[in-house]
Chains A and B, each alone.
Chain A
């Protein structure tokens, strides 16, 4: 990351940062292409959108605040189970309120966990997040009476969105819905990172000891962004339950925590779009490679990761930005 150049008018700089470029407009228009070009890939597209939202939530803490996590599936899974239990145990399948509740539950737990997170750094930080993730997984497994255990929760059934749109087999509704939620989540995140709060976070990432010296309460900032990130991850998890009508223990798995970090680094951290691009590339590559060879697809994914690191050390988006001569 190149250090940000000092500026005489920080608010003007922030305003400039938050202006929409035509890159972005084109990008979001392109997300509509699957409807026309790949109508049989809409279910995959909705899963990509969900993974992208999850990756954005991780980018907020990893890319902007320097919190490396290997346990974010904890919040994803909380959201997924919140929506699932609401439907399977209480018979409430209304999607939008379900999502909000998923975000609220995950955010609340994230807020509590954030007190632990800000106490540790580096390897200890990674391992505490990993430990919390595993604890959540084992807890969900132990509470089989509530969660359905490894078999998954049965009896999840979503109502129509705003009473009109049914989740269909082709995935039209699922993709439209996921895309809208992704876009809203992105807007929130974009506003945050381009605010003075976002700037303070980057300051913490670059030099954690200097921030208190300029009067910035860094642990409060970290707790705040961690809570927001957890809530966003919870929304992504809830979305997965709603679009698939299933919840299994795998929503909490270490594999999911690791995959999302891989997607994010692959796309490029600290750019939001890197999270989306990483999710697209990882999942589409996985789908296509697994289609060709279901047994050995991960060989090629592994190779892809190695090549990206060797030739594009700032992720794919960082590489593209360099090619087009744009700065961060």
Chain B
């Protein structure tokens, strides 16, 4: 029993990491149909900013997290304004090619400045080790991950349901043309959403260092996981991304625990099965 609890817990925590990394892509893809394969590169940027802030400036991890968010969001605004904006009507193939180009460049730049080596960070003492609850030892950092992801989910859901910007985003996701016709500045809304989403990817990259490490291949490697979460969850849906990420995280960890022989297949089997059953993803509407 306690084994089951701990496996579910570990899987859920890993899923929450995937959620933070991918939720931004889900919303921006759902809104503008803009295929941004460079999403993982913003995650990588967040990771490297964290390393810099902690190592060069000597600031604590908890300060580095917002810094990672801000850096990724700020850079994404610049890139969106100067480059991506030209591509919204260029067709999905061009978007794929262009953003893959960005991943290549980002990887090379990261290698140039940081080298190919793994970038370790030292977590503060209060995030290390385990906490014992009811005789089961839970990883402190994983508890922290879950807490952050739940807080982000709550903020996003509240923001989308209750704020003016949220209403505008919903309108733009549901039907871009009608929203435009009603006088909404969809491009501006998209810019803000895009920055938020990239910022979250940056935060995800920062949070990921402790679990999966950080080196220049991060942008490419985690792209696949991010795409799986987005497509399984359904485009444009925060709930979808949350459930999709949790499902993948738990499926991955539980699969490896109970049937390690097919552990490496499991997430792809889930992916193919879910999409054949519901091509729009679990919570997709279009």
Check whether chain A touches chain B (CB < 8 angstroms). yes
Known A-B contacts A302-B102, A305-B100, A309-B97; A131 and B275 likewise in contact (beta carbons under 8 Å): yes
B 74-93 contacts with A by CB, 8 A: 83, 86-87, 90-93
Q: List 21 A-B contacts (CB under 8 A).
A: A116-B272, A116-B276, A120-B275, A123-B29, A123-B231, A124-B281, A126-B231, A127-B271, A127-B275, A128-B271, A262-B97, A265-B96, A299-B109, A301-B101, A301-B104, A303-B101, A303-B104, A309-B87, A310-B83, A313-B90, A313-B94
Q: Which residues of A contact B (CB under 8 A)?
A: 62, 68, 116, 119-121, 123-124, 126-128, 130-132, 134-135, 138-139, 141-142, 254, 258, 261-262, 265-266, 269, 295-296, 298-299, 301-306, 308-310, 313
Once A and B bind, how many residue pairs between them come within 8 Å at the CB atom? 116
Known A-B contacts A120-B279, A132-B272; A68 and B93 likewise in contact (beta carbons under 8 Å): yes
Q: Which residues of B contact A116 (CB under 8 A)?
A: 272, 276
> Across the interface, do A121 and B279 meet the contact criterion of CB distance under 8 Å?
yes
> Across the interface, do B104 and A302 meet the contact criterion of CB distance under 8 Å?
yes
Known A-B contacts A303-B105, A306-B105, A309-B101; A124 and B279 likewise in contact (beta carbons under 8 Å): yes
Per the bound structure, the CA–CA distance linking A11 and B271 in Å amounts to 44
B 218-271 contacts with A by CB, 8 A: 224, 227-228, 230-231, 235, 261, 264-265, 268-269, 271
Q: Which residues of A contact B102 (CB under 8 A)?
A: 302, 306
Q: Which residues of B contact A (CB under 8 A)?
A: 29, 83, 86-87, 90-94, 96-98, 100-109, 111-112, 224, 227-228, 230-231, 235, 261, 264-265, 268-269, 271-272, 275-276, 279-281
Known A-B contacts A119-B279, A124-B231, A306-B101; A265 and B94 likewise in contact (beta carbons under 8 Å): yes
Partner of A138, one of B90, B91, B111, B268: B268
Known A-B contacts A120-B275, A124-B275, A124-B281; A306 and B29 likewise in contact (beta carbons under 8 Å): no
> Across the interface, do B280 and A124 meet the contact criterion of CB distance under 8 Å?
yes
Q: Is the interface of B mostly helix, strand, loop or mixed?
A: helix
Task: Quote the shortest CB–CB distance from A12 to chain B (angstroms).
Answer: 31
Per the bound structure, the CA–CA distance linking A310 and B265 in Å amounts to 38
Q: Which 4 A-B pairs have the closest CB atoms?
A: A302-B104, A305-B101, A299-B108, A302-B105
Q: Is the interface of A mostly helix, strand, loop or mixed?
A: helix
> Across the interface, do A135 and B272 meet the contact criterion of CB distance under 8 Å?
yes
> Across the interface, do B111 and A131 meet the contact criterion of CB distance under 8 Å?
no
Q: Which residues of B contact A141 (CB under 8 A)?
A: 264
Per the bound structure, the CA–CA distance linking A224 and B81 in Å amounts to 43
Known A-B contacts A119-B276, A135-B265, A306-B98; A127 and B105 likewise in contact (beta carbons under 8 Å): no
Known A-B contacts A135-B268, A296-B108; A258 and B97 likewise in contact (beta carbons under 8 Å): no
Known A-B contacts A68-B93, A313-B91; A131 and B109 likewise in contact (beta carbons under 8 Å): no
Per the bound structure, the CA–CA distance linking A198 and B71 in Å amounts to 49
Task: Quote the shortest CB–CB distance from A283 to chain B (angstroms).
Answer: 15
Q: Which residue of A lies closest to B281 (CB)?
A: A124
Task: Quote the shortest CB–CB distance from A257 to chain B (angstroms).
Answer: 11
Known A-B contacts A123-B235, A124-B279, A128-B272; A304 and B101 likewise in contact (beta carbons under 8 Å): yes
Q: Which residues of B contact A138 (CB under 8 A)?
A: 264-265, 268
Q: Which residues of B contact A295 (CB under 8 A)?
A: 111
Per the bound structure, the CA–CA distance linking A132 and B268 in Å amounts to 7
Per the bound structure, the CA–CA distance linking A309 and B38 in Å amounts to 15
> Across the interface, do A305 and B104 meet the contact criterion of CB distance under 8 Å?
yes
Q: Which residue of A lies closest to B270 (CB)?
A: A131
Known A-B contacts A120-B275, A299-B104, A305-B101; A139 and B265 likewise in contact (beta carbons under 8 Å): yes
Known A-B contacts A127-B228, A261-B96, A265-B93; A302 and B280 likewise in contact (beta carbons under 8 Å): no
Q: Which residue of A lies closest to B98 (CB)?
A: A309
Q: Which residues of A contact B279 (CB under 8 A)?
A: 119-121, 124
Task: Quote the shortest CB–CB distance from A207 to chain B (angstroms).
Answer: 16
